[in-house]
Amino acid sequence: MYKVLYVDDEPVLLEIAKIFLEKSQEFTIDITTSANEVLKSDKIKSYDAIISDYQMPGMDGITFLKHVHTEYGDIPFIIFTGKGREDVVIAALNNGADFYLNKGIDPRSQFDELAQNIKRVVKRRQVREALKNSEQRLSDLVNFLPDPTFAIDIEGKVIAWNKAIEKITGVQKNTIIGESDYVYALPFFGKRQPMLLDLILHENKEIEKGYPFIQHKDNKLISEMYFPTLYGGKGAYLWFIASPLYDTSGNITGAIEVIRDISENKKSENSLKESEEQYRSLFELAPDAIMLLENTRFISCNTRATSIFGCTNKEELLERSFIDFSPLMQPDRISSEQKGLEKISDARNGIPQFFEWLFSRQDGTPFFAEVTLNQLTIEGKTLLQAIVRDVSKRKEAEEMLVNSERKYRDVVEHETELISRFLPDGTHIFVNEAYCQYFNKSRQDIIGKKLFPRIPQEDHRQIRDHFASLNKEHPSATNTHRIIKADGSIRWQRWSDRAIFDKNGKIIEYQSVGRDITENKQMEEALALASQKMSLLSSITRHDILNQLTVLSGYLALSEEFTSDEKLLGFIKKEEIATERINQQIAFTKEYQDIGVHTPQWQNVHDSIVNVANLLDLSPVSIQIRFNNIEVYADPLLGKVFYNLLENAVKHGEKTSAIQFSYRQSGTKLTIICEDNGVGIDSETKNHLFERGYGKNHGYGLFLIREILAITRITIDECGEPGSGARFEITIPKGMYRFNGNKNADQEITD
């Protein structure tokens, strides 16, 4: 069941939507006409998705979307509106809307499409959350493994470095992740050189000579070694096990090495040789189970051994066999007796043994353990020492790690986005299933090969410049371009590319996530064409109406000439006033139709003010501009904003003799201030100042100003005191303004 909030200022439409969507019994729809009221309640966190109209009183849909994502995270958000302007669509998508849907006249198909998109965006969010949680679990599992652990990828770059290894080496994770060139060997050997896990990736006899011994166990390598530089020079005897990392296809993608400080165990061994008394002390205090074996029978054990094997006292353990506490078969389906005797035989022949073993406690409970078997001599008698460590919890953690990695890979494989990793020469090292299907190639056709999709000639330079712009300060960027598919069709793609660098700042890999946006592009082109047609239709219609108004005005003038009836003349005068108002409204539609039609551009505010000031009769008013270098990103009709402000100051200020433009910078915003010394604006007028049709004339000027500025999220308010002049503050958000040259430069215009 999907819980959805729908906000619209039309109550009837809310009720209809609720009926249609809840009919399938897949949705619970909460409805409201006020976005402001919704934001006051924490209940918004409980919704799986939000549907919102765009044009609403008090707060529009885009502003509501920004508040939701800022205060409550990425709740899926769908703009569902009759406002079909291209700039609204772009603003919605740019501000994080998951989908944009225009209201139509066919409610069944309309709400069916809305229902499908609700489910789609909710599932998309669930996938993102699952991926994020999987990655976090994977990181946490490695990070909190009790043994020092690190891993490298196939190129030798460090990809994991947990807390335990930070402690033993003194090297912090954030200084070594992503580094290569054997940097991980420095804390151990004091120089860069291959370690045990490098033998997993590359066979090297010279590496093997550096270790006292290397035990091969299936695909794992095991060894021990003393390092005098560890723990600040105190030294430590370490045991290591290295094993490969695989991808879901069974390919080796790197290697992992788990380290254990066995200094105490080694001290125990030495103490056994030097003194039976010292041996007994260490023997009893050891954290692992320690047993002495003569042939196959336990002849001595420590207290820890009784607890690990679930015995109440040592007598229940002694004189019993290693095999007595083992199931009939080990996990590899080999007889426990056969395999155990082989391990014991090798240890008695002087070959130290380290292996995992499935034991059974006294009550039959199974548990995994790591077993070390070493030969030693006590009072001239050759015995075997067995050290058993219960690793059941670690095995569970390893299994969780494997499952988490598998889930993570499953998410990537089932992601509909095109995901790839490739080297600077174009050689692909990873692609997901969606990528293969899109290009109609198998992984074998792509991995390890250079794949360059066909690109239209005119897009080549733009793509080269895009990749050339990636550097360590700006490692990622988004690019949109076309490709030519095998069937000759041209498709649009949008890619998010990230460059991966080595320690010298050289790019060693690119990671890319892309999607096909052909349908979006086609929709944009269709919207642009529709806008052009509507503009043309509006122009033709306005022309025809103005012609008829001219005819009407002529006949009214003639009627006035041919009658002396006072009552009739009064009617004619009212008709002439109505005709003039219609003419003003038609003129307003001509100005308004151009708003948002052309792409916003960077414009010098000083030059815009000077240009429009020259078009007005401003005598004897002086104009002072206290800057000359501010540029704003706004609709090309920006000049109309300052034209209207200047015209209103002179026309309605009554005693205006000076107009000043200044600016104020606060935080990330810039405010341009236009103030005059006229009579100001009374409190009642302030409340309706920017409403369409309100004013001393036809009331469209300030309404137009607000709409022109709103194209690029610029706002305007009147903050003056009645009787002390008007003061308009134009607030420009971050990214929509810039300075070019000296910030403080005054200029006065006097007519």
- In contact, 728 and 716? CB cutoff 8 Å: yes
- Average of pLDDT values for 53-76? 86
Q: Could you give the dihedral angle defined by the CA atoms of residues 363, 368, 369 and 375, in that order, rounded to the nearest 10 degrees?
A: 80
Cβ–Cβ under 8 Å, residues 235 and 229: yes
Q: What is the pLDDT of residues 624-679, one digit of tens each?
A: 999 999 999 998 889 889 988 998 999 888 899 999 999 999 999 999 999 999 99
Identity of the amino acid at 342: E
Q: pLDDT at residue 751 above 50?
A: no
293-341: pLDDT as tens digits: 988 899 888 888 898 999 989 888 888 888 899 999 998 999 999 999 9
Segment among 73-82, 229-238, 549-558, 596-605 with least mean pLDDT: 549-558
Q: Who wins on pLDDT, 431 or 596?
A: 431
584 φ/ψ angles, rounded to the nearest 5 degrees: -65, -40
- Boundaries of every domain in the chain: 2-140, 144-261, 265-397, 415-512, 522-592, 601-750
The string of DSSP codes covering 686-704 is HTTTTSTT-SSSSS-HHHH
- Mapped onto helix, strand or coil, the DSSP state of residue 350 is coil
CATH class of the region 265-397: alpha beta
Q: How far is CA 556 from the centre of its chain?
A: 66
Q: Tokens 């494989």 identify what position?
A: 413
Question: 47: how many CB neighbours lie within 10 A of its CB?
Answer: 22
Question: Which tokens go with 620?
Answer: 């004897």
- Identify the pLDDT of residue 61: 85
Q: Are 88 and 81 in contact (CB under 8 A)?
A: yes
Contact 605, 627 (CB under 8 A): yes
Spatial strand order of the sheet with 381-390 comes to 297-301, 289-294, 381-390, 366-378, 353-360
CA distance linking residue 230 with residue 212, whole number of Å? 18
Domain 144-261 has CATH 3.90.660.10: no
Q: If you write DSSP's letter for every residue of 27-66 in order, what string do you get?
A: EEEEEES-HHHHHTSGGGGG-SEEEE-SS-SSS-HHHHHH
Q: What is the DSSP pairing of strand 77-81 with strand 49-52?
A: parallel
pLDDT of res. 43: 86
Q: Are 726 and 649 in contact (CB under 8 A)?
A: yes
What pLDDT does residue 358 have? Answer: 92
Write out pLDDT tens, residues 605-624: 999 999 988 888 887 899 99
- Residue by residue, DSSP assigns 168-191 as HH---HHHHTT--TTGGGHHHHSS
Mean pLDDT of 441-454: 88
Q: At 74, which amino acid appears?
A: D
Average pLDDT score over residue span 36-41: 83
Q: Is the pLDDT of residue 405 over 70?
A: no
The average pLDDT across 91-100 equals 82
- pTM assigned to the model: 0.33
Of the candidates 641, 631, 630, 612, which has an alpha carbon nearest to the alpha carbon of residue 706?
641
**Could you give the C-alpha distances from 487 to 439, 446, 490, 689, in angstroms and in order?**
11, 19, 9, 58
Query: Which pLDDT band, with edges at 50, 70 and 90, does 407 fall under?
Result: low
Q: Give CA–CA dist 34/58, Å, rounded.
A: 8
Q: Which is it for the CA torsion 45, 46, 51, 56, positive or negative?
A: negative
Residue pair 242/221 in contact by the 8 Å Cβ criterion: yes
pLDDT for residue 594: 62
Q: Which pLDDT score, from 0 to 100, does residue 733 have?
A: 94
Q: In this predicted structure, what is the pLDDT of residue 699? A: 45
| DSSP per-residue codes, 297-342 | EEEEE-HHHHHHTT-SSGGGTTT-BGGGGS-SB-TTS-BHHHHHHH
Look at residue 685 and tell me whether its pLDDT is greater than 90: no
Specify the residue for token string 């009331």.
699
Residue that the structure tokens 């994020």 belong to:
132
Same CATH fold assignment for domains 144-261 and 265-397: yes
Q: With 60 as the cut, is the pLDDT of residue 592 above it?
A: no
3-state secondary structure of 292: strand
302: Cβ–Cβ under 8 A, 6 or more apart, which residues?
283, 284, 286, 289, 290, 291
Q: Are 378 and 278 in contact (CB under 8 A)?
A: no
Q: What pLDDT score does 165 carry? A: 87
Distance CA(123)–CA(506), nearest Å, equals 38
Task: Check residue 223 and give its pLDDT.
Answer: 92
- Other C-beta atoms lying within 10 Å of the C-beta of residue 264: 15
H or E stretch at 729 = strand 727-732
The residue written with tokens 């966190």 in the block is 45
Closest CA to 219 of 240, 238, 237, 243: 243
Calculate what percentage of the chain has a pLDDT beyond 90.
27
pLDDT for the residue numbered 334: 92
Percent of the chain topping pLDDT 70 = 86
Interatomic CA distance for residues 232 and 504, integer angstroms: 29
Sign for the pseudo-dihedral over CA of 648, 725, 714, 102: negative
On the question of a cis peptide bond just before residue 620, with omega within 30 degrees of 0, the verdict is yes
Tell me what pLDDT residue 698 has.
Answer: 45
Helix 86-94 vs helix 518-561: angle between axes, to the nearest 10 degrees? 140
Largest CA distance in the chain: 145
Fold of 601-750: Heat Shock Protein 90 (3.30.565)
> What's the mean pLDDT in 450-454?
86
Burial label, 565 (beta-carbon count in 10 A; 0-12, 13-18, 19+): exposed
Q: For residue 731, what pLDDT is reported?
A: 96
Residue 750 has pLDDT above 50, yes or no: no
Q: State the DSSP code for 457.
A: G
| Average pLDDT estimate for 140-148 | 77
Q: Which of 598, 582, 595 is nearest to 542 (CA)?
A: 582
pLDDT of residue 510: 93
**105: pLDDT strictly greater than 80:** no
| Token pair 């309706």 in the structure block, residue | 688
Regarding the domain with residue range 2-140, which homologous superfamily does it belong to in the CATH classification? Response regulator (3.40.50.2300)
Looking at residue 453, its pLDDT comes to: 86
What is the token pair recorded at 393? 């919890």
The CATH number of 415-512 is which of 3.30.565.10, 1.10.150.20, 3.90.25.10, 3.30.450.20? 3.30.450.20
Tell me the per-residue pLDDT of 164-173, one tens digit each, with 9 for 90 and over. Answer: 888 888 899 8
Determine contact, residues 371/123, Cβ cutoff 8 Å. Answer: no
50 strand-pairing partners: 5, 77
Rounded CA-CA distance 381/359 in Å is: 28
